């Protein structure tokens, strides 16, 4: 069942904890993103937040064409309710 969720690669500033960057994950890259993030069967729509290691964040960023800095930012795969 599709809940209409959208997904983003979100980078938080390590010093402040504030959102610094967000990149949309296209639907055709979502399965790859879910595998990298280790999304389990209990969250099939990946609506929760998943912290990514620096390597996994770089891998996902490359897949979506996003320039990222894992030195100053912590990255997460995050699901968001789609606007209606």
For 5-60, write each residue's pLDDT tens digit: 899 999 999 999 999 999 999 999 999 999 999 999 999 888 899 999 999 999 99
* Confidence (pTM): 0.89
Q: What are phi and psi of 46, to 5 degrees?
A: 55, 55
Give the model's confidence band at 83: pLDDT under 50 very low, under 70 low, under 90 confident, else very high.
low
**All domains of the chain, ordered by start, with CATH?**
6-80 (3.10.50.20)
Torsion of CA 18, 71, 66, 13, to 10 degrees: 0
Answer whether residue 82 shows pLDDT above 80.
no
């Amino acid at each position: 069942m599709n809940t209409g969720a959208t997904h983003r690669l979100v980078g938080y500033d390590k010093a402040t904890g504030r959102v610094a960057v967000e990149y949309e994950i296209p639907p055709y890259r979502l399965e790859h993103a879910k595998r990298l993030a280790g999304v389990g069967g209990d969250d099939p729509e990946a609506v929760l937040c998943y912290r990514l290691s620096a390597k996994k964040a770089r891998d996902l960023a490359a897949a979506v064409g996003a320039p990222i800095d894992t030195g100053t930012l912590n990255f997460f795969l995050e699901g968001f309710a789609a606007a209606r």
